[in-house]
């Protein structure tokens, strides 16, 4: 459903026990879809995600332990930040692409716009409250390279197997993003 609409990256959050198996199954059965693991909160979860086949890793926050553990791996890692201090800490460890979470509660697009002048070498993937109503505001920023969120494939549509509704949501999202000047 996502690939049909033109989405080629998928983050599976590890909020349930099904997450790791979903990553493994998608990697085994679907080609051309870059599948990552999100909501990683410990080194053990990072290790398990890599073992399941995650092609990228995302955490909601960035502790020194997570940053150090992920830096030893050959899998891209997006540490989560919500403050300037957290962004600086991740930057000091060599990370230049960061998750901004929860975006809507942490200052939204205005916060990221202000960060451009003090940390022009950082790029962001905002998640948490991003949707079709504010998607364009984020994607218009030069330091935002992508966005993430569950609005495209909410749990209820997945549980019902309503792939056409998910495709329609993904298509609408791609249309918004494609219509923006960059």
Query: Which position among 99, 116, 137, 156 bears the catalytic label?
Result: 99
In this predicted structure, what is the pLDDT of residue 73? 95
Region 146-171 average pLDDT:
96
Other beta carbons within 10 Å of 76 = 15
Per-residue pLDDT tens for 68-121? 999 999 999 999 999 999 999 999 999 999 999 999 999 999 999 999 999 999
Q: How far apart (Å, rounded) are the C-alpha atoms in residues 94 and 144?
A: 18
Residue 182 pLDDT exceeds 70: no
* Three-state helix/strand/coil letters over 42-57: CHHHHHHHHHHCCCCE
| Catalytic status, residue 72 | no
> Encoding tokens for residue 157?
């549509």
pLDDT at 17: 85
Contact (Cβ atoms closer than 8 angstroms) between residue 40 and residue 66: yes
What is the structure's pLDDT at 180?
A: 87
Can you give the pTM of this predicted structure? 0.94
Q: Name the class of domain 2-173.
A: alpha beta
User: Does position 165 have pLDDT exceeding 90, yes or no?
Assistant: yes
99 is catalytic: yes
- The ranges assigned to domains in the chain are 2-173
pLDDT tens-digit readout, 19-73: 999 999 999 999 999 999 999 999 999 999 999 999 999 999 999 999 999 999 9
Return the pLDDT at 181.
82
pLDDT score of 34: 97
8 Å CB contact between 10 and 36: yes
Q: Which two tokens stand for residue 52?
A: 């399941």
Q: Are 159 and 145 in contact (CB under 8 A)?
A: no
Catalytic residue, from 11, 29, 72, 156: name it: 11
Q: How many CB atoms lie within 10 A of CB 90?
A: 23
CB atoms within 10 A of CB 174: 15
Write down the pLDDT at residue 70: 96
Find tokens 């949501």 and name the residue.
169
Could you tell me which residues come within 8 angstroms of residue 150 by beta carbon, excluding any fewer than 6 positions away? none
Strand-pairing partners, residue 77, are 57
User: Are the C-beta atoms of 38 and 61 separated by less than 8 Å?
Assistant: no
Q: How many helices (H) and strands (E) does the chain have?
A: 9, 7
Residues 6+ apart with CB under 8 A from 177: 135, 136, 139
pLDDT at 20: 98
């Amino acid at each position: 459903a996502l690939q049909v609409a033109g989405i080629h990256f998928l983050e599976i959050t590890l909020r349930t026990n099904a997450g790791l198996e979903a990553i493994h199954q998608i990697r085994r059965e679907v080609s051309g879809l870059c599948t990552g693991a999100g909501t990683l909160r410990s080194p053990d979860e990072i290790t398990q995600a890599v073992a399941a086949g995650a092609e990228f890793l995302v955490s909601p926050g960035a502790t020194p332990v997570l940053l150090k553990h992920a830096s030893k791996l050959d899998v891209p890692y997006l540490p989560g930040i919500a403050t300037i201090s957290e962004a600086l800490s991740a930057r000091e460890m060599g990370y230049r692409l960061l998750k901004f979470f929860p975006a809507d509660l942490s200052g939204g697009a205005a916060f990221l716009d202000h960060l451009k002048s003090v940390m022009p070498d950082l790029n962001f993937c905002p998640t948490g409250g991003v949707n079709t109503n504010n998607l364009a505001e984020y994607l218009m920023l030069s330091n935002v390279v992508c966005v993430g969120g569950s609005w495209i494939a909410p749990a209820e549509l997945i549980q019902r197997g309503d792939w056409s509704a998910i495709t329609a949501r993904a298509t609408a999202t791609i249309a918004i993003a494609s219509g923006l000047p960059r």
